[in-house]
Each structure stands twice: as structure tokens, then as C-alpha cells.
């Protein structure tokens, strides 16, 4: 890859990776899971898993990207050739690209709801509204495929515009404005929550160390969240890693990404739950918290319409910073493989993801239930697409860990890590054994709750096959010590 395709500023990769990691899940899922699963106890398990699983795989994925200096698919093709391994390892690139494409298709639809609520807030439409009115309003949005398609189109077009402008003018410039602005907005909402909400109740909900509330499922959710929150296995980190300057510390950057990502989730949790408890409302999970409970809290508070509008701009910004990272892996592949211009590649990727997103749109209304899709797969199109990504991402992350741990030589890893031998040995042990085992355990334990026997059996075969194939795919033994 030519020299001009490297971030012009050392800190841009950090902004890009944090932008990819900080999304809708940080703003509602992580704080909710923390509160429901023992507070501080959940955070402790999460932090341990981040260190033992998340950071080692994050380092591995950046390493593969920076080593190849290409898109995930072409990069893995290059690495398999240079390391004399089987071409089957290219699966890593394809799984990442497929995950990014599928996630973008439904993420854009959900993020589009924030456009609706930004408008409602800033125009004062929800001032003084009661719970029933706001709940009915959310249901009406879900029942309107035309409106949802409009928001879906606006959101994905804005994301495409940024990526289409290129690495420097588009992604880099956008992130350098957007990410600091998001942090400022988050602090403004936190200050507002401290003044108008119940900060002590929020702190108790999030940080009380109650090990009794942390069930096995809570452990699994903490482990799963630590993996998913860092955007691992979806090609984004590998694609961004390809643009990372060689003189930037890979280890320090990976730790910084994990710390900033967690801090944002914690601050968002304090801000959101201070408002929720201050208004005497229940802590709902998922879309209900974001699009029903919070608008209700803002509706009852002074200057709530203005701060609510600013909050949903924060949600939109976090969603866009994530969505541009989902467009990049596929767009970069199309540019490299078919010699397209960047705008052409982005348009093809985005139009295909937009069309796929229509399945998610109709999942909430026209195809809500009783359709042929339901009878074939036992779930809505949206749930099925989300299920596929929940399979592809962990398997991709697992393969990344195995390839980086077993195929790369000590000398090249040491050169990229720029760290001590002891840290290298620690990282290699974690990425070879601990991270793959943990990802496999969470994956196999979580999937049976989702489907009967087909999916867990498929998952088991994939994971066992990955472990077995990791040795067979490495055609010739590598000297790694």
C-alpha cells in the first residue's frame, strides 16, 4: 500500500478505533448490563476479560492490518502467501467483510431512529408528553416503513459521504472534529444529569459491588460485551490498522482504545441513569430505554427539549463514527481488487447495504410476523441478520487470534509490538490459548439460548474445525521462538 494511505496524525488511529468501538451499544447496553449484574462485580469481570481476551485480539487484528497494509480480504491473501500458510486463512477477511456489511444494513436503520428523535426534541414536540404518548409515538415510528426508510437513507448517505471523500479528507477530518465534539456533548449531558437528575442513585446502580447478583449468565454477558464492544472480528480494526503509522506503539494504542471505550460507557451510564432515576422511571433495556424512557425523562425536566436534542445528536455522532468503520473494509477491498475509485466502491457497498437494510425496516411492520421468513427461520429478518453477525464476529475473532498467535514469527511480532520479550510472551500465551478458549466458550454458551440445535451444532463444528484446522492450515511449522 502506498505511503499516502497512512494516517497523517499519530493519534488518528486511536480516534478511529474509539469511534468504531463507541456506538449505540455503549450508550445503553453496557450501562444496563452493569446495573443488572452486580455493578462493580460485572465491571471487574469485564475488565479482566478486556485484558485477557479483548486487548490481545485487538492487538492481533491491528497487527494483521498494519503488517499487510491492505484491506482485510486482500491483506489476509497477502499474509497467507508471505507466511506459506493455507489460503483458507483468507476466511478471516471474508468473515470480517460479511459482518461489516450485515451490521451496517441494520445499524443504519436503528441509528435512523435517532434522526427522528433529534427532530422531535429540538422542535419541542415532546415537552410535557406523558408515558403513553411517547410510547405510542415510538410504536407509530416502527409501524411506518416509509418514514423508517427515509431515515435509513439519510443516515447511510451521510456515512457514505464521509468515507467517499477518502482516508484523509473524509474519515480522518471527520473523526478529528466528531470525536472531541462527542466527548464534550457527553460531559454536558453528564453535568445536566448531575444537576437535574439523581446521580447518587445512578452511581449505586452502576458501581455497587454485589457479587451475589452476578450469575453465570452475567459472567458470559461481561465476556461477550468485552469482545463485541471493541469492534473485533468485523474487519474495521484491521482496515484502520492498515493506515496506522509504523512508529505508533501498538500496545499502548490498544490499551488506550479499551480504556477510552469503557470510560465513555461508564460516563454515558451515569448520565443516562441519573436522568432516569431523577424522573422516577424504570430502567428498561434496549430500544425502550433509548427511545421511550429517556425522551420521557427529558420531557419532564427544565431545558429538557434542548438537552434531549443535543443528546440524540451525540447518539447520531456515535452511530456515524461506527458506521464509517463498517463501510471501510468492503470499500477498501473493492478499490484494491477491482481498481475502482473510492467513491465508486463506497456507492456500491452502501447501495447494497441500504437494500439489505430494507429487510430490517419491514421486520418491524409489514413482515412483523406470520411471513414466510418467520416460518422458514423462526424469527424476523432483522433477528436473523443479527444472529448471523453474532456467529461471524466471534468466529472471525477466534481465527484472528489463532493466525496471529501461530502463523506470525516472533521477530515480526516483536517488531510490530515494540515491547519487551516478557510482554510478547504474555500476549502470545493469551492470544494462542486464553482468548480463543474464552471466545469459543462464550459463543457456544450464548448461541443455544438463541436457537434450537442447528445453530449451536453449526457453531461447535466451526470452532472445533478452526482449532483443528489451525495446525493443518499452517502447512509448514513456523519458528516462533
Q: What is the DSSP string of 222-286?
A: HHHHHHHTTTTTSSHHHHHHTTS-TTS-HHHHHHHHHHHHHHHHHHHHHHHHHHHHHTT-----T
Q: What is each CA distance from 69 to 1, 162, 245, in whole angstroms?
A: 5, 21, 10
Task: Give the pLDDT of residue 373.
Answer: 66
201-210, 311-320, 465-474, range with the lowest pLDDT: 465-474
> Is 2 inside a domain boundary?
no
Q: Which three cell numbers stand for residue 52?
A: 485477557
**478 pLDDT higher than 60:** no
> Is 3 inside a domain boundary?
no
Q: 10 Å Cβ neighbour count for 165? A: 17
Cα 183 versus chain centre, distance = 18
**452 pLDDT higher than 70:** no
> Is 374 inside a domain boundary?
yes
> Is 265 inside a domain boundary?
yes
DSSP 370: S
Domain CATH for 23: 1.10.4160
Task: Give the pLDDT of residue 340.
Answer: 93
Tell me the average pLDDT across 76-80.
94
Domain count across the chain: 1
CA distance 459 to 157: 35
**481 pLDDT higher than 50:** no
> Is 1 inside a domain boundary?
no
Task: Give the pLDDT of residue 442.
Answer: 79
Provide the pLDDT confidence category of residue 350 given band limits of 50, 70 and 90: very high
CA distance 163 to 342: 8
- Helices 145-164 and 342-363 meet at what angle, rounded to 10? 160
> Is 4 inside a domain boundary?
no
Single out the residue of 210, 188, 290 nearest to residue 34, CA to CA.
210
> Is 456 inside a domain boundary?
yes
pLDDT one-digit tens code per residue, 143-186: 999 999 999 999 999 999 999 988 888 888 889 898 999 999 99
Determine the 3-state secondary structure of 322 from DSSP.
helix
> Is 127 inside a domain boundary?
yes
Residue by residue, DSSP assigns 48-107 as HHIIIIIHHHHHHHHHHHHHHTS-HHHHHHHHHHHTT--GGGGHHHHHHHHHHHHHHHHH
pLDDT one-digit tens code per residue, 352-378: 999 999 999 999 888 777 666 666 667
Provide the pLDDT confidence category of residue 457 given band limits of 50, 70 and 90: low
pLDDT one-digit tens code per residue, 209-261: 878 778 888 888 888 888 788 889 899 999 999 999 888 889 999 999 999 99
Range of the domain at 82: 11-475
Residue by residue, DSSP assigns 107-157 as HHHHHHHHHHHHHHHHTTTTTT--HHHHHHHHHHHHT-HHHHHHHHHHHHH
CA distance 198 to 35: 15
Q: Kindly report the CA angle at 477 between 473 and 481, in degrees rounded to 5?
A: 130
Task: Give the pLDDT of residue 2.
Answer: 39
Q: What is each CA distance from 207 to 27, 35, 199, 216, in whole angstroms?
A: 16, 8, 12, 19
Amino acid at each position: 500500500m502506498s505511503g499516502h494511505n497512512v494516517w497523517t496524525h499519530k493519534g488518528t488511529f486511536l480516534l478511529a478505533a474509539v469511534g468504531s468501538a463507541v456506538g449505540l451499544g455503549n450508550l445503553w447496553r453496557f450501562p444496563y448490563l452493569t446495573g443488572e449484574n452486580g455493578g462493580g462485580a460485572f465491571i471487574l469481570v469485564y475488565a479482566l476479560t478486556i485484558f485477557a481476551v479483548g486487548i490481545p485480539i485487538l492487538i492481533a487484528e491491528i497487527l494483521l492490518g498494519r503488517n499487510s497494509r491492505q484491506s482485510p480480504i486482500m491483506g489476509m491473501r497477502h499474509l497467507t502467501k508471505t507466511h506459506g500458510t493455507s489460503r483458507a486463512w483468507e476466511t478471516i477477511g471474508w468473515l470480517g467483510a460479511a459482518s461489516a456489511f450485515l451490521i451496517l444494513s441494520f445499524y443504519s436503520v436503528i441509528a435512523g431512529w435517532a434522526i427522528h428523535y433529534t427532530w422531535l426534541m429540538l422542535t419541542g414536540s415532546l415537552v410535557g408528553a406523558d408515558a403513553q404518548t411517547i410510547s405510542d409515538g415510538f410504536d407509530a415510528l416502527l409501524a411506518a416503513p416509509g418514514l423508517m426508510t427515509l431515515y435509513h437513507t439519510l443516515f447511510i448517505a451521510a456515512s457514505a459521504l464521509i468515507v467517499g471523500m477518502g482516508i484523509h479528507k473524509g474519515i480522518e477530518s471527520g473523526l478529528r472534529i466528531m470525536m472531541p465534539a462527542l466527548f464534550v456533548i457527553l460531559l454536558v449531558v453528564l453535568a445536566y444529569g448531575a444537576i437535574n437528575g439523581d446521580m447518587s442513585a445512578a452511581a449505586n446502580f452502576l458501581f455497587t459491588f454485589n457479587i451475589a447478583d452476578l450469575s453465570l449468565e452475567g459472567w458470559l454477558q461481561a465476556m461477550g460485551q468485552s469482545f463485541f464492544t471493541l469492534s473485533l472480528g468485523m474487519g474495521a480494526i484491521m482496515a484502520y490498522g492498515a493506515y496506522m503509522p509504523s512508529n505508533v506503539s501498538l500496545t499502548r494504542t490498544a490499551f488506550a482504545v479499551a480504556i477510552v471505550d469503557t470510560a465513555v460507557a461508564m460516563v454515558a451510564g451515569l448520565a443516562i441513569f441519573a436522568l432516569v432515576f431523577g424522573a422516577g422511571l424504570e430502567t428498561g433495556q434496549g430500544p425502550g430505554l433509548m427511545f421511550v424512557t429517556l425522551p420521557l425523562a427529558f420531557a419532564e425536566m427544565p431545558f429538557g427539549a434542548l438537552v434531549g436534542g443535543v443528546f440524540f445528536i451525540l447518539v447520531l455522532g456515535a452511530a456515524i463514527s461506527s458506521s464509517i468503520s463498517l463501510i471501510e473494509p468492503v470499500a477498501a477491498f473493492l478499490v484494491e481488487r477491482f481498481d475502482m475509485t473510492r467513491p465508486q466502491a463506497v456507492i456500491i457497498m452502501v447501495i447494497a447495504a441500504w437494500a439489505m437494510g430494507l429487510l430490517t425496516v419491514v421486520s418491524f411492520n409489514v413482515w412483523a410476523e406470520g411471513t414466510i421468513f418467520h416460518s422458514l427461520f423462526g424469527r424476523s429478518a432483522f433477528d436473523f441478520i443479527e444472529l448471523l453477525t453474532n456467529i461471524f464476529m466471534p468466529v472471525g475473532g477466534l481465527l484472528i487470534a489463532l493466525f496471529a498467535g501461530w502463523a506470525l514469527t516472533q521477530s515480526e511480532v516483536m517488531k510490530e509490538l515494540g515491547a519487551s520479550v516478557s510482554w510478547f510472551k504474555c500476549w502470545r500465551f493469551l492470544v494462542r490459548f486464553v482468548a480463543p478458549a474464552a471466545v469459543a466458550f462464550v459463543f457456544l454458551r450464548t448461541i443455544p439460548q438463541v436457537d434450537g440445535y442447528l445453530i449451536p451444532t453449526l457453531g461447535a463444528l466451526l470452532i472445533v474445525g478452526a482449532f483443528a484446522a489451525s495446525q493443518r492450515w499452517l502447512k509448514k511449522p513456523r519458528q516462533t521462538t
